[in-house]
Amino acid sequence: MNHLTGFRQIAATVIVSALFGCTWEETPIDPGQQVVMPDLPLGFPMPPIPADNELTPYRIELGRRLFHDPILSRDSTVACASCHHADKKMTDGLAKSIGIYGQTGIRNSISLLNAAYQPYLFWDGGVPTLELQVLAPIHDPREMDFDINLVVERLRRHPQYPALFRQAYDADPSPYTLTRAIACFERSLYSQTTRYDRYVYANDTSALTASEKRGMNLFFSERAECFHCHSGFLFTDFSFRNNGLYEKYADSGRARITLNPADVGKFKVPSLRNLAYTAPYMHDGSLATLQEVVEHYNSGGKNHPNKSVFVLKLNLTEQEKQDLINFLLSLSDP
């Protein structure tokens, strides 16, 4: 069986066998418990997957259900999906997310597609793994305002969850299995093959328009400098940079973790895939459109002692700005 399509086939098998309910005796191994490979778009490498949390259809499905379930929040009103919507590529369309009791948060929601490749999570990189990340929104008084042990208590009393956890992890709901299941679901989320990918990885020279190709050359040139930070197949080198948004940052960014003044205003370079769906932009959602983003970079940004040397006045023509925007949009899923 082809590994890349294995997941879909097994998922189909699970559904079929669930429908007929009689195949269990004939199949010695429950396909829902079989390790599957993620379904990756063209050109993407295999992401790192922890040995204690390999992907299986049961785990992914359990994680998906938990991700959409407000049971994780104190008053059962907020789910992970409240701020990570599938139709917005797992962001929420707001400048700053709104959490429990209608509270506005401090940052712009981040797309969870391709999160499996992130070496650390959040705009400031404060959390090292997807498993550990699950604790943060549950405990954040502005997001879910709850407690992982209390979530687990609810799940243990739930009519369905205990059985689903045993199917997926051969164990009861616990902080360990809860965080594993949600992380497992997240590791099944990827962007799709874009026109840009067909151009690069399938040598389809007609996949991009002339304007997009000009924008691409600009993006990768020493003239616009974008590629220094937005490099690799996700268009991020995962470094922390100050791109000159402000003279004074209300959010200290990476310095919140390191407490190092040289890190003030530095944020994890975001991926540029799916920008068409993930406005507004930047850590605080302060730029509403890609026009505003390109104007920001064209202006060279504000003065800040930590601003990267690659953010400088570009003097782009109107045509060049449009080409750059068109190129950025070609990185979005069809």
Partner 1 sequence: MKLRYFAFFLILSAGFASCKKDDHGETTEMVKLHLHTMVGNQAANYTSTFSNNGRSFTLSNLRYYLSNFVLIQDDGTEVPIAGKVILASPDEHEWELGLVPSGHYSGIRFLVGLDSVTNHGDPTVYPSGHPLAPQTPSIHWSWNTGYIFMMVEGKVDTTLAANGSANANFFYHIGLDQMARSVSLSGADVHVEAGGENSFHLAFDLLKALQGVDMRTEIKTHSMDNMMLAEKIANNWPQSFTWE
Residues engaged in binding partner 1 (CB under 8 A) = 122, 124, 126-129, 131-132, 135-136, 138-140, 147-150, 174-176, 178-179, 256-257, 259
| 135 interacts with, out of partner 1, ligand HEC, none, CB within 5 to 8 A per kind | partner 1
| Interacting partner of 113 out of ligand HEC, partner 1, none (Cβ under 5 to 8 A depending on kind) | none
Q: Closest CB to ligand HEC among 145 and 197? A: 145
Given a contact cutoff of 8 angstroms between Cβ atoms, the answer to whether 273 and 113 are in contact is: yes
Tally of CB atoms within 10 A around 12:
12
Place of tokens 């959010």: 251
Q: Judged by CB, which is closer to ligand HEC: 36, or 229?
A: 229
| Residue 95, binding choice from partner 1, ligand HEC, none, Cβ under 5 to 8 Å by partner class | none
Across the strands, what pairs with 266? 253
Nearer to ligand HEC, 10 or 234 (CB): 234
CA 280 to chain centroid, in Å, comes to 15
Residues 21-60, interacting with ligand HEC (CB under 6 A):
none
Query: What residues have CB less than 8 Å from 18, skipping those under 6 apart?
Result: none
Q: Taking a C-beta distance cutoff of 8 angstroms, is the pair 247, 302 a contact?
A: yes
Could you give the CA distance from residue 175 to residue 236 in angstroms, rounded to a whole number? 31
Which of 311, 321, 326, 331 forms a contact with ligand HEC (CB under 6 A)? Answer: 311
Provide φ and ψ at 268, rounded to 5°.
Answer: -65, 130
- Asked whether position 89 contacts ligand HEC by CB under 6 A, the answer is no
Q: Using CB under 6 A, which of 7, 44, 58, 122 touches ligand HEC? A: 122
Cβ–Cβ under 8 Å, residues 49 and 187: yes
Q: How far is CA 199 from the centre of its chain?
A: 24
- Asked if residue 80 binds ligand HEC (CB under 6 A), the reply is yes
Is 224 a binding residue for ligand HEC by CB under 6 A? The answer is yes
- Taking Cα atoms as reference points, which of 74, 94, 72, 69 lies closest to residue 83? 94
Question: Which of 10, 115 has the CB closer to ligand HEC?
Answer: 115
3-state secondary structure of 241: strand
Q: Residue 144 or residue 234: which is nearer to partner 1 going by CB?
A: 144
Residue with token string 């948060």: 105
Q: Does the footprint of ligand HEC cover residue 109 (CB under 6 A)?
A: yes
Complex with ligand HEC: residue 10 or 311, whichever CB lies closer: 311
Directed axis angle between helix 3-20 and helix 57-67, to 10°? 80
Residue 287: beta bridge partners?
281
- Residue 330 interacting with ligand HEC (CB under 6 A): no
Residues in contact with ligand HEC by the rule CB under 6 A: 67, 72, 78, 80, 82-84, 97, 99, 105, 107, 109-110, 112, 115, 118, 121-123, 130, 133-134, 137-138, 143-144, 182, 186, 224-226, 228-230, 241, 243, 245, 267, 269-270, 272, 275, 278, 281-283, 293, 297, 308, 310-311, 324
